[in-house]
Amino acid sequence: MSRKINIGIIICDRYRNCAGGKCFRALKEREGAFSIYDKEDELKIVGYTTCGGCPGGNIEYTPEEMRKNGVDAIHLATGFLVGYPPCPYTKQFKDFIEEKYDIKTVVGTHPIPEKYFQTHSALGTWDSEEWKKLIEPTLTNEETRLAYN
């Protein structure tokens, strides 16, 4: 049985001019962090904005605005993970949104592109247990990562 799920996406402000192409493609294909949804689910974007820049000023009120649009889940875009350095506030943003607004918050949108995977692997960026957990929803196989380069 299909469900209707309203999605909000918050992107890192350093990518504020991003049109969301990889995120929307991954949503349509149910890849990366969107793989948690069934193919039969009807996903609708009801909000798309930036965090507001470090240290994430929009995080305080954006979820409330998205709630007014019926948001069921908020995704923190993959840009929070792959930029250099990755956003040090990612886990705090997730925890804050879930605690204050009781909205399911998922870290990631599209799969991590291979070029970022290679760089961060060489640098050891994601070697800690916390980072391994954060990137898990967007860490796919090499073929998929290459398709998102």
Residue 66 DSSP class: H
Report the alpha-carbon distance of residue 112 to residue 42 in Å, rounded. Answer: 24
Q: How far is CA 57 from the centre of its chain?
A: 17
Domains contained in the chain, CATH given:
4-147 (3.40.50)
Full-model pTM? 0.95
User: Is 82 buried (19+), middle (13-18) or exposed (0-12) by CB count in 10 A?
Assistant: buried
Per DSSP bridges, beta strands 104-107 and 73-76 are parallel
**Cα–Cα distance for residue pair 140/29, rounded to 1 Å:** 13
Q: How confident is the model over 15-58, as pLDDT tens digits?
A: 999 999 999 999 999 999 999 999 999 999 999 999 999 999 99
Closest CA to 6 of 61, 59, 50, 47: 47
- pLDDT, tens digit, for every residue of 89-148? 999 999 999 999 999 999 999 999 999 999 999 999 999 999 999 999 999 999 999 999
Q: Does 2 have pLDDT greater than 90?
A: no
